Structure formats: structure tokens, C-alpha cells
């Protein structure tokens, strides 16, 4: 058995940082398992919250937007399915963002002890969102079978949009994680922004109802391309691929990810003093 020797040199934070992320992959999985195990600890219905939360939201949005406001669906797709397919990526991204933003505060006990790339903490916390997503996806599959809405070959592209949903949350999540350790106000700011984002994203409605004059501003929201992409993948062609929104989402996601990583790397060296 060969022992691994970790040599920390003055410039190692920059030259070996990304290699260290892979070297500490065992710690990444341990932190992810810890976050998953405590996610629904001491709750009455446990992981069923991953079903109850989107199901109740779907019912409310279907009644308010579909029945009362009488907004159109996409083709012959039942409004409940349109809403649930939109909620799937929304909860994936919003849960990942909130978990990453709060991760440095919950992981304070680890920060000042030994060296490891601190970026592991917010990234590992985002795995919880994938567990919730898998549970909600099973419920969506049951609903689609019930309504006889079956996907076609486009579902093969779904993993790419799942990755885009995670990356969309990663940038702002990492950025807020670096700030929340020093400014605890962000524990209140992030949930407010997530709640606000729910109403400006096409979760409860179709993007087709947005006036053409406002599309350019509307599509700056990176979740527009993600949610429309999910609907294109899962609704059998009832929703066309919105290429403008997709390209906008990719561009905004790259910028937010770069800003988040840049901010985190610049402040990481001071985390032990603040925690």
C-alpha cells in the first residue's frame, strides 16, 4: 500500500487547487452523504417532502393560472403536466442554490481545522438537490402515465438540461456561500430571491404568453432556457426548442459561474479567520 504525501507549498493554492479537488473526492462524498442523511432528519414524513412540496405547488398553480386566469397550456398538454415539468428543474436549481449558499455556515466546524479545498463544501451540499429531483421525477413519470403524455426521442437530451440546471445554480450558490460566512444577512436574502425567482420564471405558465417586446429581458433569466428545455425534452414536441432562451441561459450561466468561482477563490484564504 502506497502512502500519499500532500506537500503544501506557498503557491499551491493556485497551481494545485483544481487537482486537490479531485484528490479530496472521498471527502466530497462523505460531506454529500452527511448532508443527505440530515436533510429530513427529525421530520415526520421524511423524504416524502420531496413529493408533497412540488405536488401542492402544482395544484395551486394549476388552479390559479390554469383555471382562474385561464392561461393557455402547450398544445394538448394538460396544464398540471405543464406546471409539474416546469417545477422539476426549478426545484432542482433553487434547492441546490439555497444549499450551497448556506453550506459554509453549516460547515464552519471544518473550515479552521485542516487544509482541503473549501470549494468542496458548497459543491457537496448541492448533491441533496439531485436526490429530491430523482424522487420528484418518479412522481412526474406517474402523472405522465396517468394523463397519457409520453415523451419521444427528445428525452435523450434531458441529462444535458439537468446539468445546465445544476450549473445555473452553482455560480450564484458559490458566490453567496463566500459572502454568507461574513455577512449572515444573506441567510435571509437568498430565500427571498428564490421566492421572487419562482414568479419571474415560466414555472406556472408557458413562455408563449410573454409579449414579444419583453422577450429579450425575460430570457436574461437563465431558468427560462432550462425550464423550456425540460418541456421540449419531456412533452413530446408540444413545446418547441427555444434556442434564443437556451443560448442566453448558457451565456448567463457561464458568466455567473465565473463570477462565483472568482469571488470564492479570492476570499477563501480568509475563511478560517472569519469562521
Task: Report which of 149, 154, 165, 142 is spatially closest to residue 227, judged by C-alpha positions.
Answer: 165
Per-residue confidence (pLDDT) for residue 268, from 0 to 100: 82
Cα–Cα distances (Å) from 240 to 144, 149, 151, in that order, read 19, 16, 13
Per-residue confidence (pLDDT) for residue 5, from 0 to 100: 59
> How many Cβ atoms are within 10 Å of 50's Cβ, its own excluded?
25
Query: Tens-of-pLDDT digits for all 275 residues of the chain?
Result: 455 555 555 455 566 777 888 888 888 898 888 888 777 776 666 677 778 888 898 899 999 998 898 888 888 899 999 999 999 999 999 999 999 998 888 777 777 777 788 899 999 999 989 998 999 999 999 999 999 998 999 999 999 999 999 999 999 999 999 888 878 778 888 889 998 999 899 999 999 899 989 988 999 999 999 999 999 999 988 888 889 999 999 999 999 999 999 999 888 877 777 66
What pTM value is reported for the model?
0.87
Per-residue confidence (pLDDT) for residue 9, from 0 to 100: 54
Per-residue confidence (pLDDT) for residue 46, from 0 to 100: 67
Task: Report which of 275, 171, 149, 268 is spatially closest to residue 223, judged by C-alpha positions.
Answer: 171
What separation, in Å, do the N-terminal and C-terminal C-alpha atoms of the chain show?
Answer: 37
Residue 75 DSSP SS3? coil
Per-residue confidence (pLDDT) for residue 96, from 0 to 100: 94
φ and ψ at residue 116, rounded to 5 degrees = -165, 155
Per-residue confidence (pLDDT) for residue 44, from 0 to 100: 66
Grid cell 434547492 is found at 95
At 40, list the grid cell: 429530513
Amino acid at each position: 500500500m502506497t502512502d500519499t504525501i500532500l506537500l503544501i507549498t506557498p503557491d499551491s493554492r493556485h497551481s494545485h487547487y483544481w487537482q486537490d479537488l479531485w484528490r479530496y473526492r472521498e471527502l466530497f462524498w462523505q460531506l454529500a452523504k452527511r448532508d443527505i442523511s440530515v436533510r429530513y432528519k427529525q421530520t415526520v414524513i421524511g423524504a416524502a417532502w420531496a413529493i408533497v412540496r412540488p405536488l401542492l405547488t402544482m395544484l395551486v398553480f394549476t388552479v390559479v393560472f390554469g383555471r382562474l386566469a385561464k392561461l393557455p397550456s402547450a398544445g394538448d398538454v394538460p396544464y398540471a403536466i405543464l406546471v409539474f415539468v416546469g417545477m422539476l428543474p426549478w426545484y432542482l436549481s433553487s434547492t441546490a442554490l439555497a444549499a450551497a449558499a448556506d453550506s459554509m455556515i453549516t460547515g464552519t466546524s471544518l473550515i479552521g481545522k485542516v487544509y482541503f479545498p473549501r470549494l468542496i463544501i458548497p459543491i457537496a451540499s448541492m448533491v441533496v438537490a439531485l436526490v429530491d429531483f430523482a424522487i420528484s421525477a418518479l412522481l412526474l413519470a406517474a402523472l405522465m402515465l396517468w394523463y397519457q403524455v409520453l415523451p419521444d426521442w427528445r428525452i435523450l437530451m434531458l441529462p444535458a438540461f439537468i446539468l445546465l440546471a445544476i450549473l445555473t445554480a452553482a455560480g450564484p450558490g458559490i458566490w453567496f456561500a463566500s459572502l454568507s460566512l461574513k455577512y449572515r444577512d444573506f441567510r435571509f436574502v437568498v430565500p427571498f430571491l428564490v421566492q421572487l425567482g419562482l414568479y419571474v420564471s415560466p414555472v406556472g405558465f408557458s413562455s408563449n404568453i410573454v409579449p414579444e417586446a419583453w422577450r429579450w429581458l425575460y430570457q436574461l433569466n437563465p431558468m427560462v432556457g432550462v425550464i423550456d428545455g425540460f418541456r421540449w425534452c419531456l412533452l413530446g414536441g408540444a413545446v418547441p426548442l427555444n434556442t434564443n432562451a437556451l443560448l442566453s441561459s448558457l451565456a448567463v450561466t457561464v458568466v455567473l459561474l465565473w463570477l462565483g468561482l472568482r469571488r470564492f477563490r479570492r476570499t477563501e484564504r480568509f475563511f478560517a479567520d472569519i469562521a
